[in-house]
Homo-oligomer: A and B are copies of this chain.
């Protein structure tokens, strides 16, 4: 994508999570530690300085937590990543100095904030004076086309993760499927549609940040770029929202009709019956399957081939029970991709596309 001034997967990253490093506070930092540990030199967080990242958030074994930028520099980072994605999207004021200092020392900066760092006069001046560059991942490319079903021109099989609500594991499931597919020696790539996935993969567009006329067009751009760049046989596309969501159903449908998937995997959190921060029920799992297949059929029929359950808040026995219940309810393979792996889903894909 033209808007990306450097490839984060070729940099050595320090994650700035000062005062907000924790399992619940820093989904972004935690996801980077889980999926790109080899690129992360350290995490900056005064509160937990001296500890190992894995002692704080459960992932990132061997990644030190340090007190500040001076300490971080000893680990040789080339990129400072802002490790939060707050709902408001603004820049915590106490981070200004750290960012300016990092740019002065020649580090690139990667940010998922709504407020674009590159538009800040001070930061912009620093990038003009050095090799350091800023990637505001949420900035939409300004030359997006509208959707015209170009995903159909891609030779790869496209698998879209869909959900019963926001934050049910659509990004994680797509990443785990991509990893699992590679282990089976399938050629595979992950298509990021949100900021965290973009920072992990170094590609993609934040589809929820584009002007609404371009949702499908942006999705097509992501898919065409990944197909060209990787020549993969399988593309695992990160879905967003839910078709029944009061706020985000438009993004969800645009992404579905932009990606025109060959198959879908439905992501769900079994302990959730109500949508988060909405007075809206989540329909029964079988109905969510139907709804997604119905909406796909308006442009191109596609089946849900498996269920990905997020059981992080359940016991092992409880998790096993909900997996079996989901299989019984939908007659589809089910798993928790993190807890039990994605083999049942990949087996389902193999059966669907022999």
Contact = CB atoms under 8 A, between A and B. Distances in A.
A315 interface: no
Interface residues of A, number: 37
B298 A244 contact: yes
A208 B209 contact: no
A158 interface: no
Given A253-B253, A280-B299, A246 B148 contact: yes
Q: Please report whether the interface of chain A is mostly helix, strand, loop or mixed according to DSSP.
A: helix
A169 interface: no
Given A208-B211, A215-B251, A244-B298, 6 more contacts: A147-B246, A148-B279, A149-B279, A216-B249, A250-B250, A250-B254
Contacts of A249: 216, 253-254, 257, 298-299
Interface string A270-300: 0000000011100000000001001100110
A207 interface: yes
Contacts of A213: 208-209, 247-248, 251
A249 B256 CA distance: 10
Given A147-B246, A249-B298, A280-B299, A210 B208 contact: no
Interface in A193-220: 207-217
B215 A250 contact: yes
Contacts of A124: none
Contact of A212 (B147, B246, B250): B250
B212 A278 contact: no
A146 B247 CA distance: 6
A250 B251 contact: yes
Top 10 nearest A-B pairs (CB, nearest first) are: A250-B254, A147-B247, A146-B247, A215-B250, A250-B250, A212-B212, A244-B298, A253-B253, A208-B213, A149-B246
Nearest to A290: B294
14 contacts: A148-B278, A149-B279, A211-B212, A212-B212, A212-B215, A213-B247, A215-B251, A216-B248, A216-B249, A244-B298, A250-B251, A250-B253, A250-B255, A280-B299
